[in-house]
Chains A and B, each alone.
Chain A
């Protein structure tokens, strides 16, 4: 009977004890797995969200986040210049502002985010009902609403809406502008309660009383397939050195250092805590188990079992308990991650498509490596007890006791 089979028999000899030990390992290892998912979940999810939009470089006037810093002047000219680069497939100017839609009746007005783009090119939204905005950056008198806003205003494609824009840092009293609802659209970064709308750059400028304004908060750039994001970013920076270009990876890296930092920190802390916790508990379980069987172990040594063999039995017992628990932890962890993700997604401002816990094969590899290390480390002390067991003294003690 090899050490593994022997360890298995030792475990099943006391099914309640073994079952509880494995269940405990599974619960702790599930939490460990979840923290590994959380450590990169936001990064992976945000990267996916940014990539799905179809643009892989973002250009702004300064290093400030879009919508918070100065605007890009002569945006359409800059976009045209970028489009001439061989690395660039498409460059779309995008304006961001806040507007108040006239909701009528007791509600008064409903604030919403307004996206304004050159609609002759790729758009950062998806129309799900009605039709998309036509034309380029010129005013069309049309607007797209997201589902929340359409429901709140009680509007369908074909209806008209009136809005007042908030342009610049101050709150000037701008006139109401009337637009027709072309369709209902989904915006990738909308949170579940967000109100969003989209129109052309021309209509947005008209709402601010600046018909000839050619400004945008950022340029969304799609690289050509052969160039890649990094080469495109370098080419843009070379062409327009006064502007600030970031690839999607760089955007995510900034978020990782900033807004996502808390979740990275807490996942690190909890990984350390769960590892320490499981190490301590498994060591205690194994040590108590070994101490209860010292007579048996001494007898085996007296019968001729080598030190290496009895130590291997302890290691195998640890490996079985932690291994089975660790394997059970994966489906348990996925279920737990779903629950935790639902809790966190309720946070205001979190896009509906963004997830905190994202499965990556890499997480399984790290999980397995940590589990193996825990099993080995947890067995160290009981291994030492067994390796140094004085055979004769133990046999004597067993008789006396």
Chain B
């Protein structure tokens, strides 16, 4: 697959080649993603839109090595994900990918700082390095003053900002966001959108699944999905 210019672009962060994901159901198999070809280059900013149930989140999970395709090939930094075991895939997710969820999924018993520290500790970073990086990230998202607060003491927007900081903790090459403003009001959503733009501008590839047109419009590429396939935008580029 090429971009149409005849020149093969730089190594992709993640590349889906005709991936299909189906789920076995009592009433018969459901194909959530069908023959999708997609390439995310370093620094890309891609939005995936579509109606509810079109397979956006499933595609995001495939790109993030959280799920495996039923058919097709998924390459992460030129490695075929299918050949990797669970341990290797976990390592990729820990060090190379950042995830942001609609429902934040912060650990309620940890403070904001501890939530950001957690993936770094899991990656084996030294304590001092973690402390510095955590402080840096909380400053980046504007929450230095809330470092010692638990999620129950934060607003929705603040929680999502902590989640973004956590996702960036191990300097991933790819940030995946599943409806990051889904639980937020418009104003807060705009703040998050601006923050995500900044993250992308600093070099991290960004793929956002969203219903939010305002958020989607900030992406350089907008892909529309329907019934499991990409119907609008660029398929395979």
A392 and B117 within 8 A (CB): no
Which residues of chain B have C-beta atoms less than 8 A from A307's C-beta? 86-87, 90
A309 to B166, CA, bound (A): 18
User: A1-22 CB contact bits vs B (8 Å, 1 = yes)?
Assistant: 1100000011011000000000
Is residue A303 contacting chain B, with contact meaning CB distance below 8 A? Answer: yes
Interface core residue of A9, A298, A304 (most chain B CB under 10 Å): A304
A contacts, CB < 8 Å to B: 1-2, 9-10, 12-13, 295-296, 298-309, 391-392, 395-396, 398-399
Distance from A371 Cβ to chain B, minimum over Cβ atoms (Å): 25
Which residues of chain A have C-beta atoms less than 8 A from B123's C-beta? 304
The A-contacting residues of B in range 178-225, CB under 8 angstroms, are 178-179
Is residue B57 contacting chain A, with contact meaning CB distance below 8 A? Answer: yes
A300 to B95, CA, bound (A): 13
The A-contacting residues of B in range 51-105, CB under 8 angstroms, are 57-58, 61, 64, 66-67, 86-87, 90-95, 97, 99, 101-103, 105
Distance from B158 Cβ to chain A, minimum over Cβ atoms (Å): 18
Is residue B122 contacting chain A, with contact meaning CB distance below 8 A? Answer: yes
A299-B101, A304-B97 known; A1 vs B117 contact (CB < 8 Å): yes
6 smallest CB-CB distances across A and B, nearest first, come from: A304-B94, A299-B105, A13-B109, A304-B93, A392-B67, A392-B61
A304-B90, A305-B94, A306-B87 known; A295 vs B117 contact (CB < 8 Å): no
A372 to B205, CA, bound (A): 47
Listed A/B pairs (14) with beta-carbon separation below 8 Å: A1-B110, A1-B117, A13-B109, A299-B105, A302-B64, A302-B99, A303-B167, A304-B92, A304-B95, A304-B122, A304-B170, A306-B86, A307-B90, A309-B122
A296-B105, A391-B66, A395-B101 known; A302 vs B93 contact (CB < 8 Å): yes
Is residue B233 contacting chain A, with contact meaning CB distance below 8 A? Answer: no
B94 and A303 within 8 A (CB): yes
A392 to B57, CA, bound (A): 9
A9 and B90 within 8 A (CB): no
Extra contacts, 20 of them, besides A302-B66, A309-B122, A395-B61 (Cβ < 8 A), are: A1-B117, A9-B109, A9-B110, A12-B109, A13-B109, A295-B103, A295-B105, A296-B105, A301-B90, A303-B99, A304-B123, A305-B90, A305-B94, A391-B66, A391-B67, A392-B67, A395-B66, A398-B105, A399-B178, A399-B179
The A-contacting residues of B in range 135-189, CB under 8 angstroms, are 166-167, 170, 178-179
CB within 8 Å: A-B pair count: 81
Interface size class of B (residues with CB under 8 A): 35 or more
B107 and A296 within 8 A (CB): yes
User: B9-46 CB contact bits vs A (8 Å, 1 = yes)?
Assistant: 00000000000000000000000000000000000000
A305-B122, A399-B103 known; A1 vs B114 contact (CB < 8 Å): yes
A1-B121, A307-B90, A392-B67 known; A13 vs B108 contact (CB < 8 Å): yes
A198 to B16, CA, bound (A): 99
Which residues of chain A have C-beta atoms less than 8 A from B95's C-beta? 304
Distance from B104 Cβ to chain A, minimum over Cβ atoms (Å): 9
A392-B61, A392-B67, A395-B101 known; A303 vs B119 contact (CB < 8 Å): yes
A309 to B90, CA, bound (A): 10
A395 to B170, CA, bound (A): 22
Which residues of chain B have C-beta atoms less than 8 A from A295's C-beta? 103, 105
A149 to B1, CA, bound (A): 108
Q: Which residue of B lies closest to A387 (CB)?
A: B86
Which residues of chain B have C-beta atoms less than 8 A from A306's C-beta? 86-87, 90-91
Which residues of chain A have C-beta atoms less than 8 A from B86's C-beta? 306-307
A398 to B99, CA, bound (A): 15
Which residues of chain B have C-beta atoms less than 8 A from A300's C-beta? 107
A304 and B91 within 8 A (CB): yes
Which residues of chain A have C-beta atoms less than 8 A from B114's C-beta? 1
Interface core residue of B61, B114, B167 (most chain A CB under 10 Å): B61
Distance from B125 Cβ to chain A, minimum over Cβ atoms (Å): 12
Distance from A18 Cβ to chain B, minimum over Cβ atoms (Å): 11
* Choice from B61, B93, B109, B178 contacting A303 with Cβ under 8 Å: B93
Distance from A344 Cβ to chain B, minimum over Cβ atoms (Å): 46
Q: Which residue of B lies closest to A9 (CB)?
A: B109
Distance from B174 Cβ to chain A, minimum over Cβ atoms (Å): 12
Interface core residue of A305, A306, A398 (most chain B CB under 10 Å): A306
Distance from B114 Cβ to chain A, minimum over Cβ atoms (Å): 7
A304 to B58, CA, bound (A): 18
Distance from B44 Cβ to chain A, minimum over Cβ atoms (Å): 20
Distance from A111 Cβ to chain B, minimum over Cβ atoms (Å): 70
A296 to B104, CA, bound (A): 10
A371 to B94, CA, bound (A): 35
Q: Which residue of A lies closest to B68 (CB)?
A: A392
